Chain A
Amino acid sequence: MRRGEALAAWMLTLPAALAFLLLLLAPTLAAIALAFSDYELGVWPPHWIGLDNFREMWTDRGFRTSFVNTLVYVAIVAPVSVAGGLGLALLIEGAARGRTIFRAIFFLPVVSLTVAMAAAWQYLLHPTIGPVNAVLRAVGIAGPAWLSSSDTVLLSLAAIGIWESIGFNMVLFMAGLTAIPRELREAAAVDGARAAWDRFRLVTWPLLGPTALFVVVISLIRSVRVFDTVAVLTRGGPNKASEVLLYTMYTEGFTFLRLGYSAAITLVFLVIVLGLMLVQTRILDRRVHYG
């Protein structure tokens, strides 16, 4: 009877377990193994080269540029989209009417296809026919070539990144806000927290803690993952000014067919993302819950 039950349990778990093994675990392990090889598509057999790929990365100026660019991108997009998402959530929450429409407007970028939206951005930011520069010209400023100048390309991509994720963060914060008991804000008002800022400090922000941590980590991970806008709009250019981690991985692997090196870059990316998730679960368990 017990054996039968155990067997049934295994049988029922099998499809999911198989899918996990074949689609997640095996490719990840393969990528990790490849990272320590010199495998190139068409050159067989690959050789075990130990840490050579990582050594190369260390000295590769292209990779370093890409790594620094990713950091800069994350350093702009994550804080601005978190703070902006919170600001929007508070504004919309406090609005007397039109909450639904504003929520929909700001959430729109999240549900729209980035690649399609990238075309729209390309037009908006076009140096001669783009509306952005048209507006700038109207006030007497000569707008830069947003996506084709190495000074502004990363900033432009960051702006698009912010536009993409601010609505997502806003919705998460709004969910967090509705979970705060109304009595607490009322109690804060009666207790003498007269300024909105005081009530925010006393009640809203501390009780939003778990949500805020989640939003921060999700935003970091989402911005480290930046790829499609780069691939569609700039292809890492001009002059590698918009090379980012995943785009470098993609060109090394699929343009130069150096799958071993590409896998090594993937591994670096994986470590960053896992590290962020670890930080989240650790802090989440300890600090921001008032159990």
Chain B
Amino acid sequence: MSGLVIDSVRKAFGATQVLHGVSLSVRPGEFVALLGPSGCGKSTLMRIIAGIDAPDAGRVIINDRDVTRAHPGARDVAMVFQNYALYPHLTVRQNIAVPLVMRRLSAWQRLPFLGGFAGAARRAIAADVERIAEPLGLAPLLDRRPAQLSGGQRQRVALARAVVRAPHVFLLDEPLSNLDAALRVTTRREIVDIHRRVGAASLYVTHDQSEALTMADRVAVMLGGRLLQCAAPADVYDRPANLDVARFIGSPAINLLPAEARDDGWVQLAGRATGLATAARGPLTLGVRPEAWRIGAGGWPARVEHTEFLGDGLLVHARLDDHAVLLRAEPDARIAVGDVLPIGFDPARALVFGADGARVAAVEPAHA
């Protein structure tokens, strides 16, 4: 399979095992987000793919070629670094040209690196640089140095430098983390556009789930050096593989309530029937997203402790028995602190996790 394949990659720094056998594949043209909290090993995995670090075990395969031991420059990968890593002494034009100069010119042709010594190869490079700079709005900035650019402009130069030679694999290491919030949202779109134009197998490292969910074709959730789930954003959100993924994905966070499956499969929450049935037995964890709650007659009594107005909704912090629950209500709902709301949830939208933390299929009562 062409694209990027990572096969059981392991890596330890001293006694700390950072990657516990991670496998992942990205098809050409696919955009995969590698999502995890800081310290989960996602940046290490990216550096191993780029060839900056070597894995202790496992293989990295790019375009059907095992490149585990290959030099970074020989892997057909391009990378956008978190702090852009632009060459401060080169102009924007020269920065973008570096990957082309390094690949297309021989060592002796490269010698007068800063000089403008012509030749067909150099003219072709100049043309390619301008072609890539134009749609990114970098054309008027080509003769500036990085220090004269804003953060967003530097970011676009880093993107241009990465994609100018149409790499087979395109790696992005938290490229938006140094931008302010407004710029982040617009740049998301730009990055996806660039990805589509280049058609590379793109891997995007981020700790920000909104970036991962909005940009990616698939989201790979990584926690503690293990890849827990790799699926489409909607699947990761609606059908998380286990408790850790469920807890990590979604903001505000999912409600996790201790429940129990009776011997006949019916799930009960503190002795109350939930209308859910499952194949598992014994103690369970019930996951309910804040927007899956319904307020209406016949529900369980939950006392409101705090409310937050979000504009497009109202976030209600309430207490059901001894458990804090978060629910999302309509923005015009008349809910005040101290109210007791009757709440319930749509069984189809509830998640059931077994004692080992893995999600188990819930069946609706009709099928039980």
Contacts and interface: CB of A to CB of B under 8 A. Distances in A.
B72 to A, nearest CB: 4
Given A186-B50, A201-B113, 4 more contacts: A186-B72, A190-B79, A192-B103, A290-B88
A256 to B, nearest CB: 53
Nearest to B88: A290
B154 interface: no
B73 A187 contact: no
Given A201-B113, A202-B113, A291-B147, A194 B74 contact: yes
Interface string A45-80: 000000000000000000000000000000000000
A191 B98 contact: yes
Interface string A102-141: 0000000000000000000000000000000000000000
Interface string A3-14: 000000000000
Contacts of A201: 110, 113
A188 B81 CA distance: 11
A226 to B, nearest CB: 34
Contact of B85 (A181, A192, A195, A206): A181
Interface string B92-113: 0000001100110001001001
Interface in A204-247: 206-207, 209
A280 to B, nearest CB: 19
Contacts, number: 74
A153 to B, nearest CB: 39
Interface of A: 181, 183-184, 186-195, 198, 201-203, 206-207, 209, 290-291
A1 B346 CA distance: 78
Given A183-B81, A202-B113, A290-B147, A190 B87 contact: no
Contacts of A184: 85, 87
Contact of A209 (B50, B89, B102): B89
B77 A290 contact: no
Nearest to A181: B85
A194 B99 CA distance: 11
29 contacts: A183-B83, A183-B85, A184-B85, A186-B50, A186-B52, A186-B72, A187-B87, A189-B52, A190-B52, A190-B72, A190-B73, A190-B77, A190-B78, A191-B99, A191-B102, A191-B161, A192-B73, A192-B102, A194-B73, A194-B102, A198-B102, A201-B113, A202-B87, A206-B89, A207-B89, A209-B89, A290-B88, A290-B89, A290-B145
Contacts of A202: 87, 98, 102, 113
B51 interface: yes
Contacts of A209: 89
A18 B83 CA distance: 50
Q: How large is the interface on B (under 10, 10 to 19, 20 to 34, 35 or more residues)?
A: 20 to 34
Contacts of B102: 191-194, 198, 202
Contact of B73 (A183, A191, A203): A191
B72 A189 contact: yes
Interface string B121-154: 0000000000000000000000001110000000
Interface of B: 47, 50-52, 71-74, 77-79, 81-83, 85, 87-90, 98-99, 102-103, 107, 110, 113, 145-147, 161
Contacts of A192: 73, 98-99, 102-103
B154 to A, nearest CB: 13
Contacts of B85: 181, 183-184, 186-187
Contacts of B88: 207, 290
Contacts of B51: 189-190
A194 B98 CA distance: 12
Nearest to B98: A191
B73 to A, nearest CB: 4
Contacts of A186: 47, 50, 52, 72, 81, 85
A195 B103 CA distance: 12
Nearest to A195: B107
B156 to A, nearest CB: 16
Nearest to B101: A192
B73 A189 contact: yes
Nearest to B78: A190
Contacts of A193: 73, 98, 102
Contacts of B147: 290-291
A249 to B, nearest CB: 42
B113 A187 contact: no
A189 B90 CA distance: 16
A189 B99 CA distance: 10
A190 B50 CA distance: 7
A113 to B, nearest CB: 40
Nearest to B74: A194
Contacts of B145: 290
Contacts of A191: 73, 78, 98-99, 102, 161
Of the candidates A181, A191, A198, A291, the one having the most CB atoms from chain B within 10 angstroms of its own CB is: A191
Contacts of B110: 198, 201
Contacts of A207: 88-89
A168 B345 CA distance: 74
Contact of A203 (B72, B81, B87): B87
Contacts of A181: 83, 85
A1 to B, nearest CB: 43
Contact of A187 (B74, B79, B146): B79
A260 to B, nearest CB: 50
